[in-house]
Amino acid sequence: MQRQLTISDIVADPTLDTRLLSGAGGLHRVVSWAHSCEMSDPGRWMRPGELLMTVGLCVPQGSQAQREFIASLDAAGLAGITIGDDLLAPRLTKALFDEAERRNFPVLETAHHVPFIAISRMVALSNADQSTRGVLRLSRLFQTAAQRDHEAKRTGLPLSQLFDTSIRVIDDQTGCVLIGDGVVEREPQRPRPLRTLRPTSLLLERDEALDSFAILNLSQVLTVDANELLQSALDRCSTAASDLEQVLSRQPGAAEELIEGWGAQNEGYRAIATSSPVAQRLPLTLALAGLQAVVAQVRGCEVVVAPSREVEATRDTLAALGQA
């Protein structure tokens, strides 16, 4: 297996004329790609593992601003930064070097006669085998996507196994987990918005292992899955709530319609009263879990009516949501 390219390999190549300024503890960092960016917030536009190449226009002036700049690049997971020796960058402060040293974040300097494309080509050639594997993985992505059933889409397990990372899609308004394990996400880390019928976010446990192209294609598949799951769950929530409210208001024949919606007669039904801090969280969670329990708003409370066989599963769901 080919060894992955690191920052130390770039520094060691005499043709690249690039030297280390600070952050020697990060020389082992793997470089997945090298990209030039002069935007004010480079970490927003780049992927973890990438080397930022800049002539210095994106580097702020002043000690505190430069300290925060290095911190933001490290927090974004970048492999490091190389600054062209073109006299365009502001004066690099001791605070910048100290922060880089503290974080083991490599700060490099590339001689002005070396074009950044030379570094990019070296990284691309070194990672050619990895790129080939990425293309094969994308092919398997679409093959896998075409063969999944509803449960596989709901758990996201086939895609998690393919990309070797935990995958979850969260409904932004309620925090409900649409795809993946768990019931609700309270503090999502590094969410990636998806273009779904209502706002959702993609959470990847190990996104540094995926390149931008892989994430783009994975996001497209998950967007379709999330829309399908959302539409089905929201339709069920709306219909079930309407049916239950008609029963509670004693509309003739409403009880029979509700029972028919459950698909079969049951030994009995139980009512559970609770209070949710987030609107729509409970009915959406129950619908996504495939439970036949229905929810209606009654006098400031959420009343759940569930078939007897689902009472324990409904209680477990409430416990997972932290509701009494």
Residues 80/105, Cβ–Cβ less than 8 Å: yes
d(CA 77, CA 107): 14
What the block records as the tokens of 233 is 């769950």
pLDDT of residue 79: 96
Task: Write out the two tokens for 78.
Answer: 């970048």
Say what the pTM is. Answer: 0.57
Question: CA geometry: angle at 40 spanning 42 and 51, to 5°?
Answer: 25
**The two three-digit tokens of residue 162, written as one number:** 């393919």
Mean pLDDT by 10 residues, the chain (324 residues): 80 92 96 92 90 96 96 95 92 96 97 92 77 67 83 90 88 90 76 90 78 83 93 82 74 72 67 82 86 78 82 87 81
Between CA 233 and CA 285 the distance in angstroms is: 9
CA distance 115 to 117: 5
Cα of 120 vs its chain's centroid, Å: 27
pLDDT of residue 1: 44
String of b and e for 228-255 (b: at least 16 CB within 10 Å)? bbbeebbebbeebbebbbbbeeeeeebe
